[in-house]
Structure 1
Amino acid sequence: MSTPVHALPLAALRERTSEKWREYPADVLPLFVAETDFPLAPAITRALERAVATGDTGYVASRTPLPGAYAGFARRRFDWTPDPARMRSTADVSMGIVEILRRVTAPGDGVIVMPPVYPPFYDLVEEAGAVIERVPLRDTGTAWEIDLDGVDAALEDGARAVLLCSPHNPTGTVHSAASLAALAELAAAHGAAVVSDEIHAPLAQPGTGFTPFLAISDAAREVGYAVVSASKAFNLAGLKCALMVTASDGPTGVVRSLPVEVEWRTGQFGLLAAVAAFGEESDEWLDGLLTTLDENRRLLTDLLAENLPGAHYRIPDAGYLAWIDMTDLGWGENPAKRILREARVALHYGPAFGAEGAGHVRLNFGTSPEVLTDAVMRIAALRGA
């Protein structure tokens, strides 16, 4: 097991000026937005310090080492080697999704999303000029699965694209290779595209069997687009850098047709940080982070079982986000409101993820065991209030 990465002290974290630490007063424990509480990987710190020291703050170059760095990362972590020539960068995953959807759908076309899902997906589809087609994940009682029959029906009704979250946010589900292969076959049969948001992929726990969508099958390569970033695993969201990845001539042509400005929106610091993050020198740090998150996801299981037994939670396969069902506690459709008001813990509102989020909250456990424990104990105290 790798050496865990330790979160910074709470006092130091409160010196940060990002959304997580400025949205609420200092008496609130912020576990809502997907930022983590860990120091940067040393290679990233060195890359940014070097850029500041040399004034390397200009425009992103037309040729960069980022595609090659990601290809190496994918080979080491996923046993997959995408072609760097089939990638283009942009500012973030959301921008990449919108720009691709604009090319693969016409105004008014349906785009399938699988709620409960990352709330901005709904806005991104609308921004692209398309219409949401909801095909909720199936809850088997022990796991969440893609509803392939529902996807098939929506495609039969005219949906032109699938917006896939893989690994899934907020459930942390790593979709099986078999279900992804079946999804690709359905899309190919209906002439639809699959846009796969794989921002949480570097955070898949060892042994989960995560497979990038474009590595699944020939059908996936023909219909698929992946949008990837180092931002979630390495806490780089503010630096603005993502990659649009393709694996066959059709999708590659679509991405190459995007205006040059889409690529120029990439942040220079984001690109430099991503190259460092995807490099081999950051592998040990990432392994340590995964060890820490594994410990925290299991700690949360124990804390809820012992102190808040009415809350139901399945250990996620990937990431640092916990999807918690609080329906049995009787705290209403949006329990995060009461938790913020009375326990002074900020969690993401469940209903924002879709109708399936009623009675749920999303909790970010990318923090220290002490903060996580304090948060759960504050929430548990509401049971007697």
Structure 2
Amino acid sequence: MIFDKHIDRRNSGSLKWDFMAEKLALEGDDLLPMWVSDYDFQAPAAVIEALQQRVAHGVFGYAERDDRYYQAVLDWYQSQYQITLERAWICSVHGVLPGLALALQQLTQPGDGIVIQSPGYGSFNKIITLNQRVVIENPLRQHAGQYSLDLDHLEHCFQQGAKALIFCNPHNPTGRVWTAEELLAVAQLCQQYQVWLLSDEIWCDLTMPGKAFHSALALPSELQQQLIVASASSKTFGLSSLRIANFIIMNPPLRAAFSERLDAHGLDVFNSLSLCAATTAYLTGAPWLSELKQYLQHNINLLAEFINTELPMLAFTPPQAGYLAWLDCRALQLSDDALQQQLLKAGLVFSMGRGFGIAGSGFIRLNLGCPRATLLQALQRLKTALTPC
């Protein structure tokens, strides 16, 4: 199995493996990083070959999206989700987060409230607060380990004057894939209160076998006028540093204003290697992705079985999408600092739940996008960290 291959990422400029000291103030040669949400897998072979050919060409002048790039995106949405897009709807940006930040600058004013679900991706808070907007948390409901939307509280947020909602679908860190009914309810509330709906769908391609993803792009046309959908091939195919994202906007005036915002920031040319990688991945990557999702599902099942038999004090609901495990450690009755110290003593670096908001306190996030041998090593360390002597 190609995903079992161990690839040493140390000294490759990897954020996850090489920058724990700078980013987390952690030192130690034996630390096992399971935090940053990228793969320890190689990209698809066809993508690597296409990049090698592009590099061999040797000329790296200004690059633009060609017909092949656009068609690859259109065909991907048609084949994977039976959604028919128009080329004109696609605005490309150097990453989802930069695009969301630009959208907030365009659509809202300093001091405006921006809603996010919590626990939620910490970088949403960053782009909101650093752009002088105000984070409004809409806490998710949790029952028997399953998360759901609190639509009554969301409406309250809108009634208090929130101007935009960053909606993570599928959700990071919980792995929830929102149902068509949930998505429709959110969009209807946004329309009722004239709130901009920014749907971050970067995890959509990693919906697990047997689960159905519902994109905001499939909403009725009357609910699409205040909608921007963000997607990318980066999470799907392990191309996180070859950044190019697509912001899909059906409303012509809104799209024109967003394109003007890109021009205002000089974002009018693209990385030729990013274009090459994304195009090739969309055109050829479906079989690779199918194998990957089966592998990730096995990792999820392995983790669930291990917790059930070895660490029953933890609670784990398998993600419906993505390769991130959201582990509930609250039964240990440890502070977040004490929990982190026990993990570090065992040589484990997880994402601590408190980084996802107050609702994440007592949780840890574990990256399952790794070879099975690495996961087994992490699980044994986790048992050492949490089992009383």
TM-score by length of 2: 0.93
1:161 pairs, out of 157, 160, 164, with 164
**Displacement after TM superposition at 1:156 (Å):** 1.0
Query: Does 372-381 or 311-320 show the bigger shift?
Result: 372-381
2:250 pairs, out of 247, 252, 256, with 247
Give SS of 1:37's match: coil
Note the residue ranges of structure 2 that are not aligned, 5 or more in a row. 21-27
Give SS of 1:38's match: coil
Counterpart-to-counterpart distance in 2, 1:171 and 1:246 = 27
Q: Which amino acid aligns with 1:96?
A: G
Q: Which amino acid aligns with 1:211?
A: H
Counterpart-to-counterpart distance in 1, 2:313 and 2:120 = 23
Q: Which amino acid aligns with 1:19?
A: L
Partner in structure 2 of residue 174 of structure 1: 177
Partner in structure 1 of residue 271 of structure 2: 267
Counterpart-to-counterpart distance in 2, 1:207 and 1:217 = 25
Give SS of 2:318's match: coil
**Displacement after TM superposition at 1:100 (Å):** 0.9
Aligned Cα RMSD in Å? 1.8
Partner in structure 2 of residue 277 of structure 1: 281
Q: Are residue 19 (structure 1) and residue 15 (structure 2) matched?
A: yes
Q: Are residue 301 (structure 1) and residue 304 (structure 2) matched?
A: yes
- Pair 1:270–1:309, CA change in 2 (3 A): same
Query: Does 321-330 or 331-340 show the bigger shift?
Result: 331-340
Count how many residue pairs are aligned between Structure 1 and Structure 2: 380
1:105 pairs, out of 108, 114, 128, with 108
2:207–2:322 contact (8 Å) kept in structure 1: yes
Partner in structure 1 of residue 42 of structure 2: 39
- Pair 1:217–1:5, CA change in 2 (3 A): farther
| Poorly superposed stretches of 4+, deviation over 4 Å | none
- Pair 1:217–1:74, CA change in 2 (3 A): same
Counterpart-to-counterpart distance in 1, 2:318 and 2:111 = 38
Q: Are residue 355 (structure 1) and residue 358 (structure 2) matched?
A: yes
**Displacement after TM superposition at 1:368 (Å):** 1.5
Counterpart-to-counterpart distance in 1, 2:95 and 2:33 = 23
Partner in structure 1 of residue 211 of structure 2: 208
Give SS of 2:280's match: helix
Note the residue ranges of structure 1 that are not aligned, 5 or more in a row. none
Q: Which amino acid aligns with 1:362?
A: R
1:162–1:194 contact (8 Å) kept in structure 2: yes
1:100–1:254 contact (8 Å) kept in structure 2: no
**Displacement after TM superposition at 1:15 (Å):** 5.5
Give SS of 1:264's match: coil
- Pair 1:222–1:35, CA change in 2 (3 A): same
Correspondence list, 1:62-211, <5 A: 63=66, 65-211=68-214
**Displacement after TM superposition at 1:121 (Å):** 0.4
Residue identity (%): 28
1:336–1:350 contact (8 Å) kept in structure 2: no
Partner in structure 1 of residue 5 of structure 2: 8
1:226–1:245 contact (8 Å) kept in structure 2: yes
Counterpart-to-counterpart distance in 2, 1:305 and 1:262 = 52
Give SS of 1:237's match: coil
- Pair 1:64–1:57, CA change in 2 (3 A): farther
**Displacement after TM superposition at 1:142 (Å):** 4.1
Query: Does 153-162 or 124-133 show the bigger shift?
Result: 124-133
Give SS of 1:102's match: helix
2:64–2:269 contact (8 Å) kept in structure 1: no
- Pair 1:348–1:153, CA change in 2 (3 A): same
Q: Which amino acid aligns with 1:8?
A: K
Counterpart-to-counterpart distance in 2, 1:79 and 1:336 = 45
Counterpart-to-counterpart distance in 2, 1:298 and 1:312 = 14
2:83–2:217 contact (8 Å) kept in structure 1: no
